[in-house]
């Protein structure tokens, strides 16, 4: 079947498909967390002493008592098998942004040939997948295969239901035989512990006597695209790279702003309801769903949760989106920029810190100028972003996210802090050494009696800021849609731990010298703003003026590509940060640079190979066939005395020759292997390879606009984005 015939068949299948009948909605109370072995289920099935021990570990972060493992394992197995699970899986999160799992059966063969179901505490606590076949950045050689998973009791086990059966899934850490972290969970848990220690010290210095465990929280807004699977299967680039490497912009895109918050298409809403029911059964509090800016783009967002659980749930959300999409005949695209020329997808990470005794430590209240506790923690964040902004950029550095940063759908690659008018005024006052007032909320009179009076916040929002304060939290807007949120959370927690440790030490010094608490705090915050206030910016982050000011006047780093950003991980001050907070050892940090650099290089090389392959085997043959047909037609018409302009044929021929010449250059460029360093190879990928790929694409997309639609082999943007 020719490419065009396959496209026509795909459209027919979509248009003539049987509509999916939505399931009768289940009562939320009936399905909520039914597939989660949470505290309530533990309490119902465990001896009281065992339950109290587990509860203490989960709530306070204290060390797990290994003596309780057998009782928990038995109860967990019985619960899982009662729900139809015959297998269990230790689920872990290697340095790939993906989820990994190893399935084992609840089966033990006895001496008499019979079998019993068995699941011991030892098996629950520790597993052993291959430690060398996952990215490890040189920590382990291929022949050194041993690695371990370890039960993370703070993140509940759950049942994953599929058409092929149910599996008990146990969130775990993943470490090497020599004890280094090979995953994203171990550093995240360490960063929470470091932040907790520093935060509690500061809270006690502020006069609090009862201080509970401090944790960070996260609510991540997940953006994604849905396209029909019939189209996706005809696009090698979508199948292997997750984004279109060729594709001419349609006549209509997002310029009418008619998709954002528009009515959700019926087929998509049925899909969303299916996703949400699965998430509710897994105890994931999906709260928001809506159309995003680009055609075919959507968003789902959960309530805030503790950072570690939120990170695990984010991985599950991506898994559920992909799996459910297949059931509904879609492909879910989580790539940051699957379609050129329209908005890409991010994953805005809403982050805050707090505890059970002092509440949300980033809540300014109605009078932030009087809220010393808030000012201290907000000041610590400002200091952290200024000192470690390049590290924040490195935490979101991927080949795919580079396509979106700095475009109109994402903030620039310069890390700054947006506070809003109210807080900017407060911190400006702090720089003078006194704080006397802050802007209050207002009301809006809309001039229509039947409408209610609306409250007006004390400050606006700024969508061009990469790190914006949004009322009682910070929103890290630069995170990519396909990323694990663990990496950004690790950086935010660690830089806050460092700043709080510094502020705690300074505060101790001031108090020891006899300075009263309020004066000491204002003195310290004044130092923070004088040294780090340049990172605060409330204007247009897209403007050329800001880019120039940020770099030349304020000394902020502009790291536009992953090749620019990742080497930050090798900087001495970053190594010192992670080492003194206990979050990453120098070996673990170096391994992450090597892993992420390799992933970047491989991503570019895979795309380059795809560009060559698609140009040679799809676009070039279509152009030649069209030229042949066009030439034959022109000759036949000439024989009849009809003369037509040959400009179209000449244009197609010229574009085709130019495209193939660039394909030859890219093929040669891919053969280069003599690089002095990993950094040099990354720069080569970011400049030479990407430039050649873009050049080939420009010719290919121009050909799509010249060649008759009946000859074009690939589903078009118009079809993929608008045929649902």
CB of 321 closer than 8 Å to CB of 482 = no
Closest CA to 348 of 468, 459, 262, 254: 468
Going by pLDDT thresholds of 50, 70 and 90, the confidence category of residue 7 is confident
What's the mean pLDDT when you consider all of the chain?
90
In the chain, the N- to C-terminal Cα span, in Å, equals 23
pLDDT of residue 612: 98
pLDDT of residue 3: 61
Segment 187-192 shows an average pLDDT of 97
**By mean pLDDT, which of 190-194, 432-436, 461-465 is the weakest?**
432-436
Length of the chain (residues)? 724
Cα dist. 19→269, 278, 297, 329 in Å?
Answer: 12, 21, 21, 11
Closest CA to 404 of 257, 225, 626: 225
pLDDT of residue 115: 47
pLDDT over threshold 70, residue 708? yes
Q: Which residues contact 483 (CB under 8 A, 6 or more apart)?
A: 97, 347, 396, 398, 401
CB of 345 closer than 8 Å to CB of 223 = yes
pLDDT of residue 359: 95
Integer Cα distance of 317 and 311 in angstroms: 10
One of 3.30.470.20, 3.40.50.2300, 3.40.630.10, 3.30.590.10 is the CATH number of 191-598, namely 3.30.590.10
Going by pLDDT thresholds of 50, 70 and 90, the confidence category of residue 5 is confident
Segment 629-646 shows an average pLDDT of 75
Neighbours of 67 (CB within 10 A): 11
The bridge status of strand 286-291 relative to strand 297-302 is antiparallel
pLDDT of residue 408: 66
pLDDT of residue 649: 87
Q: Where are the alpha helices (DSSP H) in 258-303?
A: 266-281
HSE at residue 38, side-chain half, CA atoms within 13 A, is 11
Q: Which residues contact 15 (CB under 8 A, 6 or more apart)?
A: 723
What are the DSSP calls for 58-77, one per residue? HHH-PPP-GGGHHHHHHHHH
pLDDT of residue 697: 98
Closest CA to 195 of 62, 55, 377, 359: 377
291-335 pLDDT, tens per residue? 998 999 999 998 899 999 999 999 999 999 999 999 999 999 999
**By mean pLDDT, which of 168-172, 233-237, 253-257, 638-642 is the weakest?**
638-642
What percentage of the chain exceeds 90 in pLDDT?
Answer: 67
Cα dist. 332→18, 161, 270, 348, 396 in Å?
Answer: 20, 19, 14, 18, 21
Integer Cα distance of 92 and 486 in angstroms: 12
pLDDT of residue 455: 59
Integer Cα distance of 599 and 95 in angstroms: 10
Neighbours of 348 (CB within 10 A): 22
Going from N- to C-terminal start, the domains of the chain cover 32-183, 191-598
pLDDT over threshold 90, residue 260? no
What percentage of the chain exceeds 70 in pLDDT?
Answer: 92
Integer Cα distance of 358 and 371 in angstroms: 12
The region that residue 7 occupies, defined by phi over 0 for left and psi between -120 and 50 for alpha, beta otherwise, is: alpha
CB of 298 closer than 8 Å to CB of 241 = no
Q: Which residues contact 437 (CB under 8 A, 6 or more apart)?
A: 369, 429
Structure tokens at 5: 């015939």
pLDDT of residue 134: 81
pLDDT over threshold 70, residue 463? yes
Structure tokens at 495: 């830089």
The bridge status of strand 147-151 relative to strand 157-162 is unpaired
pLDDT over threshold 70, residue 128? yes
Structure tokens at 334: 């989580």
What are all long-range contacts of 75-79, with beta carbons under 8 Å and residues at least 24 apart? 75/42, 75/45, 75/46, 76/37, 76/119, 76/124, 76/157, 76/168, 76/170, 77/106, 77/117, 77/119, 77/168, 78/45, 79/37, 79/41, 79/45
Q: What is the DSSP letter of 146?
A: B
pTM of the model: 0.93
SS (H, E, C) 464-476: CCCEEECCCCEEE
The bridge status of strand 417-418 relative to strand 467-469 is parallel
* Torsion angle of C-alpha atoms 12, 14, 20, 22, degrees rounded to 10: -150
pLDDT of residue 602: 97
| DSSP helix/strand/coil, 15 | helix
Going by pLDDT thresholds of 50, 70 and 90, the confidence category of residue 724 is confident
Asked if the domains 32-183 and 191-598 are classified in one and the same CATH topology, the answer is no
Q: Which residues pair with 359 in a beta bridge?
A: 355
**Which H helix or E strand runs over 299?**
strand 297-302
Going by pLDDT thresholds of 50, 70 and 90, the confidence category of residue 143 is low
CATH number of 32-183: 3.10.20.70
Segment 73-80 shows an average pLDDT of 92
| DSSP helix/strand/coil, 170 | strand
360-387 pLDDT, tens per residue? 999 988 777 778 999 999 999 999 999 9
Segment 447-467 shows an average pLDDT of 69
pLDDT over threshold 70, residue 109? no
Closest CA to 655 of 608, 691, 707: 707
Going by pLDDT thresholds of 50, 70 and 90, the confidence category of residue 354 is very high
Which residue would you say has higher pLDDT here, 67 or 274?
A: 274
pLDDT of residue 536: 95
The bridge status of strand 85-92 relative to strand 165-176 is parallel
């Amino acid at each position: 079947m020719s490419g065009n015939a396959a496209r026509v068949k795909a459209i027919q299948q979509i248009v003539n498909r049987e509509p999916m009948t939505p399931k009768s909605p289940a009562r939320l109370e009936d399905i909520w967390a039914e597939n989660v072995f949470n505290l309530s289920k533990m309490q119902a099935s465990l001896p009281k002493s065992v339950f109290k021990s587990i509860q203490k570990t989960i709530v306070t972060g204290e060390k797990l008592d290994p003596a309780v493992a057998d009782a928990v394992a038995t109860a967990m197995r019985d619960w899982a098998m009662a729900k139809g699970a015959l297998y269990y899986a230790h689920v872990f999160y290697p340095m790939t942004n993906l989820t990994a799992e190893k399935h084992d059966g609840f089966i033990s063969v006895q001496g008499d040939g019979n079998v019993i179901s068995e699941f011991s505490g030892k098996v629950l606590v520790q597993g052993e997948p291959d430690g060398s076949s996952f990215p490890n950045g040189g920590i382990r050689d291929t022949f050194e295969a041993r690695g371990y998973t370890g039960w993370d009791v703070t993140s509940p086990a759950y049942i994953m239901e599929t058409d092929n059966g149910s599996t008990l899934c146990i969130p775990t850490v993943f470490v090497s035989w020599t004890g280094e972290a090979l995953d994203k969970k171990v550093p995240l848990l360490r960063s929470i512990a470091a932040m907790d220690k520093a935060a509690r010290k500061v809270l006690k210095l502020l006069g609090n006597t009862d201080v509970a465990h401090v944790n960070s929280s996260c609510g991540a807004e997940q953006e994604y695209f849905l396209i029909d699977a019939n189209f996706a299967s005809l696009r090698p680039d979508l199948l292997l790279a997750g984004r279109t490497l060729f594709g001419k912009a349609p006549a209509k895109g997002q310029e009418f702003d008619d998709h954002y918050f528009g009515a959700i298409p019926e087929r998509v809403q049925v899909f969303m309801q299916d996703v949400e029911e699965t998430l509710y059964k897994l105890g994931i509090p999906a709260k928001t769903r809506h159309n995003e800016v680009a055609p075919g783009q959507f968003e789902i967002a959960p309530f805030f949760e503790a950072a570690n659980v939120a990170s695990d749930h984010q991985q599950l959300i991506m898994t559920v989106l992909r799996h459910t999409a297949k059931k509904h005949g879609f492909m879910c695209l989580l790539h940051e920029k699957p379609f050129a020329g329209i908005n890409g997808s991010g994953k805005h990470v809403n982050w805050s810190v707090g505890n059970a005794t002092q509440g949300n430590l980033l809540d300014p209240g109605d009078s932030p100028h009087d809220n010393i506790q808030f000012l201290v923690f907000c000041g610590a964040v400002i200091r952290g972003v200024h000192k470690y902004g390049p590290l924040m950029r490195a935490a979101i550095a991927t080949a795919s996210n580079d396509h979106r940063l700095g475009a109109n759908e994402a903030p620039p690659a310069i890390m700054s802090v947006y506070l809003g008018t109210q807080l900017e005024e407060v911190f400006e006052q702090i720089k003078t050494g006194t704080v006397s007032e802050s802007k209050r909320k207002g009301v809006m009179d809309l001039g229509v009696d039947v409408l209610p009076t609306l409250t007006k916040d004390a400050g606006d929002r700024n969508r061009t800021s990469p790190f914006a304060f949004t009322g009682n939290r910070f929103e890290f807007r630069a995170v990519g849609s396909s990323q694990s949120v663990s990496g950004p959370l690790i950086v935010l927690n660690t830089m806050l731990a460092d700043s709080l440790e510094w502020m705690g030490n300074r505060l101790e010094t001031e108090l020891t010298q006899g300075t009263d608490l309020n004066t000491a705090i204002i003195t310290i915050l004044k130092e923070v703003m004088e040294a780090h206030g340049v990172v605060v910016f409330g204007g247009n982050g897209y403007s050329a003026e800001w880019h120039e000011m940020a770099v030349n006047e304020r000394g902020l780093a502009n790291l536009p590509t992953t090749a620019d950003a990742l080497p930050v991980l090798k900087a001495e001050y970053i190594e010192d940060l992670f080492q003194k907070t206990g979050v990453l050892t120098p070996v673990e940090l170096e391994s992450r640079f090597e892993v992420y650099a390799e992933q970047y290089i491989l991503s570019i090389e895979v795309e380059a190979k795809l560009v060559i392959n698609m140009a040679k085997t799809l676009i070039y043959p279509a152009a030649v066939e069209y030229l042949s047909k066009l030439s034959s037609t022109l000759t036949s018409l000439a024989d009849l005395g009809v003369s037509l302009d040959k400009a179209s044929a000449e244009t197609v021929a010229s574009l085709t020759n130019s495209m193939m010449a660039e394909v030859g250059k890219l093929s040669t460029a891919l053969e280069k292997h003599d690089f002095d360093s990993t950094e040099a190879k990354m720069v080569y990928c970011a400049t030479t390879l990407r430039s050649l790929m873009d050049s080939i694409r420009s010719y290919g997309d121009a050909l799509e606009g010249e060649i008759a639609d009946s000859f074009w082999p690939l589903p078009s943007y118009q079809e993929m984005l608008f045929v649902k």
